[in-house]
Structure 1
Amino acid sequence: METNLAIATLAALAQTTRLETFRLLVRHEPDGVAAGALARLLDVPQNTMSAHLATLTRAGLVRSERQSRSIIYRADLDGLRNLMLFLLKDCCGGASELCAPLLAELTPCCVSLAKPC
């Protein structure tokens, strides 16, 4: 991931509704959520939600797919993985034992969901 994309991705998440939207989409993987349902669940006007989803999509955190008359939004877990790898790539100057607590804390999340991260 390039630095400019990392900055755009972090900026996209640096707003309450967009962060809540992304977290909600992560919880609903792999099924996704229709745009209208997202707006209702987060109590946000549909046009406002549309703008937030566009920002998250440009940042590589959300993808969409048309299903009949609905647009289903999903978290782009590859985008999240790329951001995390960018942030941790040079973790602790190569001293892997210093990053071990972070990795240990992340692992139960993925194991408990029975999904690969």
Structure 2
Amino acid sequence: MSEQEDLIVWMRTAALPTFRKLYGRIYVDLKANDTITVRLSNNYNTYSFGGKKKLVLSTATWLGGKNDFLGFAYLIVGGLCIFLAFAFTLLYLIKPRKLGDHNYLSWNRHPAGR
């Protein structure tokens, strides 16, 4: 097995047909008008199946890339959980139920006709 981390990342199967894979990172701070030189080689032919390769330079923070969907999803699900916790607590305070009450089980209920 290769010890090159960039090759291992690139050879890992993607979950979706369109994807981005991180190849490398620039660890120095870039200033305006800095020039970046990139040399690309076509080591893996994608033309046979209609694939495309693109170079994307992006910025990332400690929270991740520019995709805000995951952050919003966490906030919405967290807010929903807090709302449901408050609603169930309020329901328990208004109409408490004895812990382990067997009267609420479906097979203990008697039909209306009996």
TM-score bracket, shorter-length normalisation = under 0.3
Which one has a bigger Cα radius of gyration? 2
Structure number having the greater helix percentage? 1
Higher RCO (CA-CA < 8 Å; seq separation 6+): 1
Please report the TM-score for the alignment, with normalisation by the length of structure 1: 0.27
Q: TM-score, normalised by structure 2?
A: 0.28
As a proportion of its length, which structure holds more strand?
Answer: 1
